[in-house]
Structure 1
Amino acid sequence: MLLTFDLSLTPRPLPSNFQPKPLHPVHKSYLDLRIYIARTLYRFFSFLQRVFNFWISKKKDRYVKGKGSSNPGFRVARISGGYYIKWGVRDVEARAMGFVRENTGVPVPRVLGFWSHRGETSSKIGSTSSDGQNKSETSKRRESAGPSELNYMLIEALPGDPVGEVWMEMDDAAKGRFKQELVRYLRELRALEQQPVAGNPHNGDVVDEVKPRYIGAINHQPLTDHRIATVPYGPFEDVEGWLECEYLLGYVAKARPQEVHERLEQELKKRDAGVVFTHSDLTPRNVLVEKESGRITGIVDWDSAGWCVEWWEGVKGVYGWNDGSFAQKLEGKDNITTPSEDSLLGTWRALLREVVGDFDDELKADEEMRDIYGFPY
C-alpha cells in the first residue's frame, strides 16, 4: 500500500495472532513525515477555526463555539480520508481489536498494518518480574540501557461522530436506537471468554491454558491504564492481587492510616466480583454514531482493553468527565458526577448501570483513591 510505503499490505484486517513486521529506517522516516504533515495541518486548521470563532463572537457580542474537527487524540494522526496511524502503541491494542472483531459484532476499526522499530533507550519502561508483578520504580531506573520498540499501527477511519459532540442534535428515535445498541455491544464484550495463552510472555515457554479470572491484557500481558499507572502493569492472577497492587490499595496502605485502607478495602471487596472483558475507556468521545439514525458506527481507542473486574467498566465510563466536548454540566453546578437524568452523563451512567450493575460504592472509593494519589492516578 503506497499510503504507508508498504506494498505488501492488503485490505484484509490483521488477525489477533499477527506477528509485527520489522520497520525499515526508510519506512519509519516516511511514516514520521506523514504523521508530521497530518498533525501540522490539523493544528493549522484548528487555529484558523479558533480565529474565525473569535471574530464571529466579537461581531455577535457573545462567545460562539464551533464543533470543528474531532481531536485526533494522543499519538494518532489521520494521514488520509480513510486511515489513521497510531504510534507509540503496544501490540496488545491491535490484538484486542482483532479479538473483538473475530468474536463479536461490535464495530471495531480494522487493523491493516503493524510495524515495530527497534531503537535505544535509557530505561526499559513497564518491566515485569518473573512472578508477573511489576518491578518498582527504583528497579526500573536501575535497568541498563537496551533496545526498545516503537510501534506503528495503521487502522481504518470509521464514519460517524463522537456521540458526545452530536448528542444534543439527535432526536428521540436516534437516541433510543443508540441506547439499545450500546447496551447490546457492551453485553457482547462482557460475554467473551478468556482464551488460552500461546506462550509465556516472560520466558517464551509454551502454555496450554491460563488460570481463570486473571486480570490483564489479552494473552496474559500487562495492562495499559492511565487511570492506574503511567506504565503497563500486571498481569494479576485474581481480583485480590489487582486490588492490592502498588497502584491501588497497596499505595493507600503506605500513604494513609490503617483505618483508611481498611475502609476502602471493605468498599471494594464487599462483593465477589467476576472478571470480564473490558474496554476500560468507554466514554462518549470513543463511541462514534450516525446522528440521524443513532446507529453506532464504531467503538475506538482500545489501548486499555483487557480482562478486568466487572465493575471497572462503569467506573472508567464516568472517569474524566471534564471534557467540554461531551460533558453536560448542570446549570450553576461544578460537580458533574451527580447529573440530571436527561443529561448525557445521566444517560451514560444509566446505560452502564443497566449492564454493569450498581457501581456507586466502587466509584466513590475510586474517587477517594484518586484524591490520595493525585493526577494522573
Structure 2
Amino acid sequence: MGSPFNISGSASQVFFKNKHSAEYKALSTIADSFAHPQRALVSAFVLNAVDRELASQFFLDEVSVKNKGTASEFLADWTCLLQKVRPFVCTNVKGTLKQNIWKRDGGRCCVSRAGNGKQHDESPLLTCLLSPSFFSDGVMANNKRLSKILVAFIGDSQCQNLRSLMADDSVSDQDHSGQLMLLSAQNFEHFRNGRISLKRSVSMDESDSAGYLVASRNYIPSIQVKTFHFTTLENRAIGLALLPNAQILEIHHRCAEALAWLEVSEYMRSANTLDQKGKRYLPNPTNGTPARENHWSLRYLQGIRRACRNVWIQTPAFFRAFAYKRLVNASDILYGHTGSDRVYRLPFNLYLRVARSDWASKHQAEAESLRLVEKYTHIPAPRVVDILQYSDTSFLLMTGTPGEIIGRRICTMTDEQLHSAAQDLKNYIAELRQIPNKTGSGFQICNALGGGILDWRIGDSQRRELRFQDETQFSEYLVDDLPLDEEAWKTLSKSHSVKHDIVFTHADINLRNLLVDKDGKISGIVDWECAGWYPAYWEFTKAHFSARYNVRWTADVIDQVFLGYRDELRAEDVLTSMAPPW
C-alpha cells in the first residue's frame, strides 16, 4: 500500500536487513525525492524488478550527479514506459485471427470465467497485451533511456527475448495470437490499470492450458475489484491459435503494481484539481466554533437519543433478542458485509456484536472499555446502547462513528493527511493511557472489568481466563514452552528485563479499526474488545503484529506515534515467529 516517507530510523526497517545495500539506498533516495503517490510509483521499479539490487543500482546511477540525471526525469521516463506497456483494445485485427482468438477463449473473459457461474461474458473485448510496435515506434527510438530502464527492470535476457518476439513482422496469425486475449469490459479496465494481473502458477503444456494466480490491487476506494484467486487459460483452438504469451503476462504482472500507482497518481491529481475549484470541498464540522443554535440542537438530539435508549433497554429481553436476530438476518442485504462474521450494521448507524453466550463476559468487558473511554477521554469511539445475554446468544449494541476505514483510504491519502492521522492517534493514545485501573481485582494486566484479557496475539486468551499480577508474570507466560536458543534469549532479555508502565491499551490498532474524514483527521476508533491494561509497549508491538507488511502504515503512522520500544518489537518478532496465535 505504498512506500513510506520515514525510512531512516523506522522500526519497519526490519524489512531492509542490509542498510548498506543498493536497494536500501535507492528507496531512501526515492523517499527523499518524492511525495506519495509518486514515491510508490518509483519504488515499484525497485521492488518489482527481476533483480532488485541491479535495478536499485541503475536508479542510483541514473540520478547521480555524475550522470546529471534527476529523480524527476527518471519518474517521467518510467511513467512513459508504463504507459507503453498498458494493454489496449485491439480494433484492427483480421477476421480469421479474431475468430481463432474467440474460439480459443470460448468467447469468454479469460479471468472472470473462473468460478463466476456464467457461461458467457457480455461483449468481451479483444485485448492486445503489448503493442507489436513496442520497440519500433518513435517513442522508444527517440528516447534510448526507456530501453535502458526496461533492461534494468526485467533483465537483459528477457528484454532480448521480448525483442525477438515483437520484431518479426512475417510471423503467422497463430504467432500473433499470443499477444491477444479476451477480457470483459470491466476486467479490461482492471487489467489495463494494474488492478489485476496474472502470475504463472502451475507448469502446464503451453499449447493446451496454463494456470495463473490472479493478483488484485484495491487502491482507489471508489473502484471495487472482484477477487479471482486463480484462473486457467485453456486453448480450445489448438493449431489455430497460441495461448496468451507467458513472458508478456509476466512483464505485465511485474509492471502491474506501478500501473496501479500510476492510476492512483492520476486519480489524486484529478481530485486535487476539483478541490481547488471548490467542487469537492465539504466544510469540516469540527473546524471553528459551532454556532449557539447548533450547540443546542446537538444537545436536543442527544437528549432524544438517551430517551429512546432508556425506553428500549426497558423493553423485555426476549423481545430485544428477537428484534436483534431479525435485524441480523437483514443486515447483509441492507448494508453488505462488515468484514466480520460477528459484527452487523443496523439502521440508524448502529452496530451489533453477536456471539455465543459463553462470550458474554467479553461483551461486558468491551462495554466497560467504551464507558471508560467516554468518561476519561475525548476519543471518538462508539457508545454502548445495549448489552444483552438471552438464551444461548450474547448481544452488544453500539453506535457507529463517522468516517471511512483508513485501510480503504490510505493509498489515496497524501503524506500530509497521513501525518495528521498519526498526530491525532498519538494524542488519543496519550489520553487513553491516563485511564486508571480501579477494578480492584489485584491484577495489573487484565481487561476493563479486571477479568481475563482477550488478545488475538495470544491464542489461549480466547479459551482461558488469562490475567496477570504483574509484567514479570506476563513475560514468563509469553515465553512458556517455547524452544528458545541462546540468541533468542539475548534478544528477549533486552525487552523483558525492562520494567514498563502498565497502561490502558486498545490492543488492536490496525487499518480496519481507525476511521478518518476527508481531510485525514481521525473520526473514529472502533473494535475495543481487546482493550485492557497491558505493558506500555504492547500497543506498539500489536500494531506491527496486525499490519507488519504494510510498510507505509507502520513507518509513517505507527512508528511516528511510538518513538521507542524497538527492542520490544524485536523480542515480539522472535516470539510470534514461534507461537502462532491459535
User: Which TM-score tier does this pair reach, normalised by the shorter chain?
Assistant: 0.5 to 0.7
1:66-111 CA-to-partner distances (Å, cap 9, x unmatched) read: xxxxx44240000124111111252000100110111111111111
Q: Give the superposition deviation at 1:153.
A: 1.1
Specify whether residues 258 and 99 from structure 1 end up closer, same or farther in structure 2 by C-alpha distance, changes over 3 A only: same
Specify whether residues 290 and 257 from structure 1 end up closer, same or farther in structure 2 by C-alpha distance, changes over 3 A only: closer
SS in 1 for 2:306: coil
Given the alignment of the two structures, is residue 369 of structure 1 paired with residue 575 of structure 2, yes or no? yes
Aligned AA (1:234): L
1:126-156 CA-to-partner distances (Å, cap 9, x unmatched) read: xxxxxxxxxxxxxxxxxxxxxxxx3211111
| Among 521, 524, 527, the residue aligned to 1:298 | 524
Q: Give the superposition deviation at 1:317.
A: 0.8
- Ranked by relative contact order (alpha carbons within 8 Å, sequence separation 6 or more), the top structure is 1
Is the radius of gyration larger for structure 1 or structure 2? 2
Other-structure match for 1:287: 514
Aligned AA (2:321): K
Other-structure match for 1:346: 555
Q: Distance in 2 between matches of 1:82 and 1:344?
A: 28
Unaligned runs of 5+ residues in structure 1 are: 1-8, 47-70, 120-149, 198-208, 323-335
Q: How does 1:231-250 map to 2 (within 5 A)?
A: 231-245=463-477, 248-250=478-480
Q: Distance in 2 between matches of 1:303 and 1:362?
A: 23
Moved more, 345-354 or 22-31: 22-31
Contact 1:215 1:308 in 2 (8 A): yes
Return the TM-score normalized by structure 1.
0.64
Q: Give the superposition deviation at 1:214.
A: 0.4
Given the alignment of the two structures, is residue 75 of structure 1 paired with residue 342 of structure 2, yes or no? yes
Q: Distance in 2 between matches of 1:21 and 1:231?
A: 33
Q: Distance in 2 between matches of 1:170 and 1:269?
A: 37
Given the alignment of the two structures, is residue 108 of structure 1 paired with residue 381 of structure 2, yes or no? yes
Q: Give the superposition deviation at 1:219.
A: 2.6
Q: How does 1:1-377 map to 2 (within 5 A)?
A: 11-12=305-306, 24-41=317-334, 71-88=338-355, 89-119=362-392, 150-195=393-438, 197=439, 209=440, 211=442, 214-229=444-459, 230-245=462-477, 248-252=478-482, 256=483, 259=486, 262-263=489-490, 265-291=492-518, 293-321=519-547, 336=549, 339=551, 343-354=552-563, 357=564, 359-374=565-580, 376-377=581-582
1:290-344 CA-to-partner distances (Å, cap 9, x unmatched) read: 02x222111000000000011000011111327xxxxxxxxxxxxx27x3xxx23
Specify whether residues 258 and 118 from structure 1 end up closer, same or farther in structure 2 by C-alpha distance, changes over 3 A only: farther
Aligned AA (1:345): T
Q: Distance in 1 between matches of 2:373 and 2:538?
A: 18
Contact 2:402 2:515 in 1 (8 A): yes
Higher helix share: 2
Specify whether residues 105 and 257 from structure 1 end up closer, same or farther in structure 2 by C-alpha distance, changes over 3 A only: closer
Q: How many residues align?
A: 269
SS in 1 for 2:394: strand
Q: Give the superposition deviation at 1:258.
A: 6.5
Aligned AA (1:370): T
Unaligned runs of 5+ residues in structure 2 are: 1-302, 356-361
Aligned AA (1:285): R
Q: Distance in 1 between matches of 2:484 and 2:446?
A: 29
Return the TM-score normalized by structure 2.
0.42
Q: Distance in 1 between matches of 2:322 and 2:463?
A: 26
Specify whether residues 241 and 12 from structure 1 end up closer, same or farther in structure 2 by C-alpha distance, changes over 3 A only: farther
